[in-house]
């Protein structure tokens, strides 16, 4: 059995402690990244909620808490390795495994849900729900009201902020039937007024030119890149960063298990 | 009077004069025939209306990339098309619209949108505008000047189908530029009107289809195929998790085996102690 001053033991302890320091820092970084993602500055959550494919946000919530849990548990690990306390080390190993499983869930959910962001998904929601009239029976339809208001406001924000129209362009509004079309005539409102070029103070530059469809007076680019782009990047970050942390943590836990077996009671 | 009536329907204005020597109409019948012919001549398409062999064109796609929409079509106004007919300065141009399936070479003008049921029984008069100025046409570069934008658009384009209010309004005037059908083919014709007479016309345009309104419920939202990274992460993480949980088993086995056998191994003491035995043993302190 190695002795106290044995360089091998010391090295191993140092290696495990450094490994835990890295896990602690990575855990905090993961939490921060997930908080940034969850703050959802552009209001994209309701767009995904309406399609039923909001698992990306669930993965981010899990990532937030596992990141913080990694931080706390690795501090416990550093202490127990330094003091060579068996019981604490066993607790550390079991806790780490528990958090490991949740982080695996978060990472796999994020990366598989990322595949769902195709243009038709957002196009269908936009055509069916944008500017739909609110249902009249209030208590039983809060969810529908939330979805309708959320999608309408989100799309208005995105079209105005990023100077885009529809998912692929203004042609989306005139190629498909939509709830918007049912309440707005094709000649006066081929597309919503938010698609019209706006001056700095928010006034439309020229409504008639926008209605006719002259390129400088209506936004001709689609909004898909501005919606799916951030969502894709955030999901990619949560998934792959989680994967990297887990790869590193695997070796730290394995090392801790080995160290535990070498400790005498 | 039978042949006079026949002449009107064949719409050859001067045929009667050729027929007179054959049938020897008396002067009274000739006069009445002539009056009827002149009256019909004002309101009917006549083969002697000069036909300018130019077809109405859609507005340039560079200018209007989203033309036509579901119920509107924007056409270029006829610039310098009727010049050979020497129109007066206050001549008007009328636009006639008909469903492509019922277009024919003859039609009765002066019908409106409601009378022809939106062009399904025959052409209707959709719009009327002043003859565009051939000498100084609208400059497309003026479109970037906001103050001149509206006037330049009006000079250059005519939009068919932009008035949905006049369809159901009982007090609407005869000239109703009602919305076109969705996904239907229409043909257009310009008529030169000078002093309430039809002075000339263009040919019928090529059939123009309005946009079909597709159903969003038919959109395919399937992802197509999984990306490689989802396969990699899912498979690697699942197998590594399994591996890690499996490592618990040897750890616990080793633990149990050690506890049974471990009594004879010296343990870590929390405080250093000298133990006298038959042979000296090094006391190990396990903490830092």
Contact by Cβ (8 Å): B182, B212: yes
Q: Does B210 touch chain A (CB under 8 A)?
A: no
Contact by Cβ (8 Å): B131, B192: yes
* Predicted pLDDT at B42: 44
- Residue A1 in this model has a pLDDT that exceeds 70: no
Contact by Cβ (8 Å): A232, A54: no
- Residue A30 in this model has a pLDDT that exceeds 90: yes
Mean of the per-residue pLDDT values for chain A? 91
Please report how the helices A7-39 and A55-83 are oriented relative to each other, as an axis angle in degrees rounded to 10.
Answer: 160
Rounded to whole angstroms, how far apart are CA atoms A172 and A162?
Answer: 17
Q: Does B213 touch chain A (CB under 8 A)?
A: yes
Enclosing H/E stretch for A191? none
ipTM: 0.86
Distances (CA, A) of B63 to A103, A212, B125, B144, B157: 54, 10, 26, 12, 11
- Residue A91 in this model has a pLDDT that exceeds 90: yes
**Closest residue of A to B211, CA-based?**
A175
Rounded to whole angstroms, how far apart are CA atoms A53 and A107?
Answer: 16
How far does the CA of residue B127 sit from the closest CA of chain A (Å)? 15
* Predicted pLDDT at B176: 87
pLDDT digits (tens, 9 = 90+) for A175-202: 999 999 999 988 889 999 999 999 888 8
Q: Does B183 touch chain A (CB under 8 A)?
A: no
Collapsing DSSP to helix, strand or coil, A214 comes out as coil
- Residue A2 in this model has a pLDDT that exceeds 70: no
Domains of chain B: 2-43 (no CATH), 48-218 (2.60.40.10), 225-286 (no CATH)
Task: Say how far residue A240 (Cα) sits from the centre of its chain.
Answer: 12
* Predicted pLDDT at A174: 92
Q: Which residues from B are below 8 Å from A216, CB to CB? A: 144
B185 phi, psi to nearest 5 deg: -100, 130
Collapsing DSSP to helix, strand or coil, A211 comes out as helix
B173 or A129, higher pLDDT? A129
* Predicted pLDDT at A73: 97
Asked whether the beta carbons of residue A212 and residue B163 sit closer than 8 angstroms, the reply is no
- Domains of chain A, by residue range, sit at 7-116+229-262, 119-224
pLDDT per residue, tens digit, chain B (288 aa), is 444 333 333 333 433 444 444 445 566 665 665 555 554 444 445 556 788 888 888 988 888 899 899 999 999 998 888 888 888 888 888 889 999 888 787 778 888 888 888 888 888 888 898 888 887 777 777 777 778 888 888 888 899 998 888 888 877 778 888 899 899 999 999 988 888 888 888 888 999 999 999 999 998 888 878 888 899 999 999 999 999 999 999 888 888 887 766 544 444 444 445 555 444 444 454 444
Asked whether the beta carbons of residue A246 and residue B159 sit closer than 8 angstroms, the reply is no
Mutate to test the interface with B, among A118, A187, A203, A217 (most CBs of B within 10 A): A187
Contact by Cβ (8 Å): A66, A102: yes
* Predicted pLDDT at B24: 54
Using CB atoms, which residue from B67, B72, B222 is nearest to A186? B72
- Residue A265 in this model has a pLDDT that exceeds 70: no
Contact by Cβ (8 Å): B25, B33: yes
A32 or A187, higher pLDDT? A32
Contact by Cβ (8 Å): A186, A213: no
Mutate to test the interface with A, among B142, B145, B219 (most CBs of A within 10 A): B219
Asked whether the beta carbons of residue B286 and residue A127 sit closer than 8 angstroms, the reply is no
């Amino acid at each position: 059995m190695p002795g106290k001053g044995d360089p091998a033991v010391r090295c191993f302890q140092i290696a495990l402690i450094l490994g835990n320091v890295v896990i602690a820092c990575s855990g905090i970084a993961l939490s921060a990244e997930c908080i940034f993602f969850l703050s959802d500055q552009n209001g994209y959550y309701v767009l995904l909620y309406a399609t039923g494919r909001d698992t990306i946000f669930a993965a981010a919530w899990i990532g937030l808490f596992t990141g913080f849990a990694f931080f706390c548990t690795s501090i416990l690990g550093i202490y127990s390795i330094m003091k060579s306390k068996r019981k604490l080390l066993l607790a550390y190993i079991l806790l780490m495994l528990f958090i490991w499983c949740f982080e695996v869930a978060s990472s796999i959910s994020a990366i598989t849900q990322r595949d769902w962001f195709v243009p038709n998904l957002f196009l269908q929601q936009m055509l069916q729900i944008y500017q739909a009239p609110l249902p009249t029976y209030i208590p039983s339809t809060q969810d529908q009201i939330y979805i309708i208001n959320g999608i309408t406001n989100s799309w208005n924000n995105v079209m105005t902020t990023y100077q885009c129209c529809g998912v692929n362009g203004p042609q989306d509004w005139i190629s498909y039937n939509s709830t918007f079309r049912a309440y707005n005539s094709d000649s006066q409102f081929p597309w919503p007024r938010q698609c019209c070029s706006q001056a700095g103070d928010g006034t439309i530059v020229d409504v008639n030119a926008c209605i006719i469809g002259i390129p400088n007076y209506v936004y001709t680019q689609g909004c898909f890149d501005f919606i799916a782009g951030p969502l894709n990047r955030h999901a990619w970050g949560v998934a792959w960063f989680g994967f990297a942390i887990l790869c590193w943590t695997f070796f730290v836990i394995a090392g801790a298990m080995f160290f535990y077996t070498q400790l005498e009671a | 009077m039978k042949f006079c009536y026949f002449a009107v329907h064949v719409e050859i204005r001067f045929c009667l004069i050729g027929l007179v020597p054959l049938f020897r109409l008396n002067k009274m019948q000739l006069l009445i025939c002539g009056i009827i012919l002149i009256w019909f001549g004002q309101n009917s398409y006549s083969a002697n209306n000069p036909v300018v062999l130019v077809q109405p064109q859609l507005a340039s796609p560079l200018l209007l990339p989203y033309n036509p929409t579901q119920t509107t079509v924007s056409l270029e106004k006829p610039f310098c098309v009727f010049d050979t007919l020497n129109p007066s300065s206050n001549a008007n141009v009328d636009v006639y619209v008909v469903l492509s399936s019922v277009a024919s070479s003859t039609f009765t003008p002066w019908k409106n949108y409601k009378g022809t049921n939106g062009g399904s029984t025959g052409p209707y008069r959709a719009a009327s505008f002043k003859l565009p100025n051939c000498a100084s046409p609208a400059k497309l570069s003026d479109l970037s000047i906001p103050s001149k934008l509206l006037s330049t658009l009006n000079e250059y384009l005519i939009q068919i189908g932009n008035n949905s209010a006049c369809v159901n309004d009982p007090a609407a005037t005869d000239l109703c530029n009602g919305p076109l059908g969705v996904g239907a083919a229409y043909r257009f014709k310009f008529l030169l009107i000078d002093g309430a007479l039809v002075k000339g016309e263009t040919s019928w345009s090529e059939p123009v289809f309005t946009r079909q309104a597709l159903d969003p419920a038919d959109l395919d939202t399937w992802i197509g195929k999984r990306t490689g990274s989802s396969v990699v992460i899912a498979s690697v993480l699942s197998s590594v998790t399994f591996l890690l949980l499996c490592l618990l088993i040897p750890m616990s086995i080793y633990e149990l085996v050690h506890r049974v056998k471990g009594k004879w191994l010296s343990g870590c003491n929390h405080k250093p102690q000298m133990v006298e035995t038959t042979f000296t043993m090094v006391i190990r302190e396990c903490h830092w």
